Structure 1
Amino acid sequence: MGLFTRDIKTMDDLFVHQLQDVYYAEKQILKALPKMIDKATSPELKAGFKQHLTETEGQVERLERVFRMHGAEPKAVDCPAIDGIVKETNEVAGEIADKQVLDAALIASAQAVEHYEMTRYGTLVAWARQLGREDCAAVLQQTLDEERATDEKLTRLAESGVNRKAAAE
């Protein structure tokens, strides 16, 4: 089912489809984060990725709860956007020999993921409210807040040293 197919007839259908999209994305992120942890050389970046891996596991559980609250079966649909971000991350990381520059690239890739997730969760919160599902919106808002906090942490990490070290090489 593509985003704008005949299978999506109502706002409720669209909401569930978007849940399926971000569910797939979170599962792909769970697969990608261990590789990013292994590649990162900055101890702070490694620790941040490890923390986000734990958070992402909780986000998947929250999504499954929202599916059930909404009367839908947790199910993923392919998300070409996250697949593209992950593919680009792997390609760029494979091309960078300098570890300081690699850390800067990993942060940029992680922020691309965070920004994607923030748009999806922001939309889901708004749609849940529109559908009268404040209960679902509250659960999704928790994840949106975590995604924003992770993005801010990545920015601080980049600006406080990783980018400077990469530029000095």
Structure 2
Amino acid sequence: MAKQKDTSKQANAHLHELFVDELRDILGAERQLLKGLKKMENAAQSEQLKDAFKTHYQQTEGQIERLKSVFEELGMSARGKKCKAMEGLLAEAEEIIEEFQDDADVIDAALIAAAQKVEHYEIASYGCVVTYAKLMGHKQAQETLFQTLEEEKQTDSLLTDIALSSANKK
């Protein structure tokens, strides 16, 4: 394991512990999300939505690798922690699947709503860690995390497009 970098002399060092805690939370959340995306993909009716969930699954795998690289840059092991927010959001998605799985006209709209709640949580989380990285002068981490933030925004936009073009019109 790499030795943790001394952060006491960096800009805004008071944010370091919060930054690391948030990174661990996001890493845990992304790992939890992988399971949830498979369930949502299996429950989706339209091929377009199934494909969106498949694509986001692949993106999430890449996002996990990026998070690992940020931990490496910080000289820390990539340890996630259980994300209670993601746990709740995914539990809600499972409830939606159970409640609407037999209603083909509604399930995709319900899944999009659940998935967008997840995306909005991720957008908020990545937005915070990008800001912390910037304030502490972690330029590479900032760029890496910003790339993921942009992917999350694109996924949210894609889900909106699917909702407006088909899922909400059934």
TM-score of the aligned structures, taking structure 1 as reference length? 0.91
SS in 2 for 1:73: coil
* 1:20 and 1:77 in contact (8 A); partners too: yes
After the TM superposition, which residues 10-21 of structure 1 pair with which residues of structure 2 at under 5 Å, given as runs?
A: 10-21=14-25
After the TM superposition, which residues 25-44 of structure 1 pair with which residues of structure 2 at under 5 Å, given as runs?
A: 25-44=29-48
SS in 1 for 2:77: coil
1:100, distance to aligned residue in structure 2 (A): 2.2
Which residue number in structure 1 is paired with residue 4 of structure 2? none
Which residue number in structure 1 is paired with residue 8 of structure 2? none
Is 1:141 aligned with 2:146? yes
Higher mean alpha-carbon deviation, 139-148 vs 96-105, is at: 96-105
User: CA RMSD, aligned part only?
Assistant: 1.0
1:79, distance to aligned residue in structure 2 (A): 1.3
SS in 2 for 1:164: coil
Paired with 2:21 and 2:83, the residues of 1 have a C-alpha distance of 11
Which residue number in structure 1 is paired with residue 121 of structure 2? 116
After the TM superposition, which residues 94-109 of structure 1 pair with which residues of structure 2 at under 5 Å, given as runs?
A: 94-96=98-100, 97-109=102-114
Is 1:49 aligned with 2:49? no
* 1:68 and 1:74 in contact (8 A); partners too: yes
SS in 2 for 1:72: coil
Equivalent residue for 1:85, pick from 73, 79, 89: 89
Paired with 2:62 and 2:105, the residues of 1 have a C-alpha distance of 30
1:11, distance to aligned residue in structure 2 (A): 1.1
TM-score of the aligned structures, taking structure 2 as reference length? 0.90
For residues 15-64 of structure 1, give each alpha carbon's deviation from its aligned partner in whole angstroms, at most 9, with x where no partner exists. 00000000000000111111111110111000111111110000000000
1:91, distance to aligned residue in structure 2 (A): 0.9
SS in 2 for 1:104: helix
1:10, distance to aligned residue in structure 2 (A): 3.3
Segments of structure 1 that go 5 or more residues without pairing to the other structure are 1-8
| Paired residue type of 1:37 | E
Which residue number in structure 2 is paired with residue 3 of structure 1? none
Is 1:155 aligned with 2:155? no
Which residue number in structure 2 is paired with residue 5 of structure 1? none
Segments of structure 2 that go 5 or more residues without pairing to the other structure are 1-12
Paired with 1:153 and 1:138, the residues of 2 have a C-alpha distance of 23
Paired with 2:14 and 2:35, the residues of 1 have a C-alpha distance of 32
1:99, distance to aligned residue in structure 2 (A): 1.5
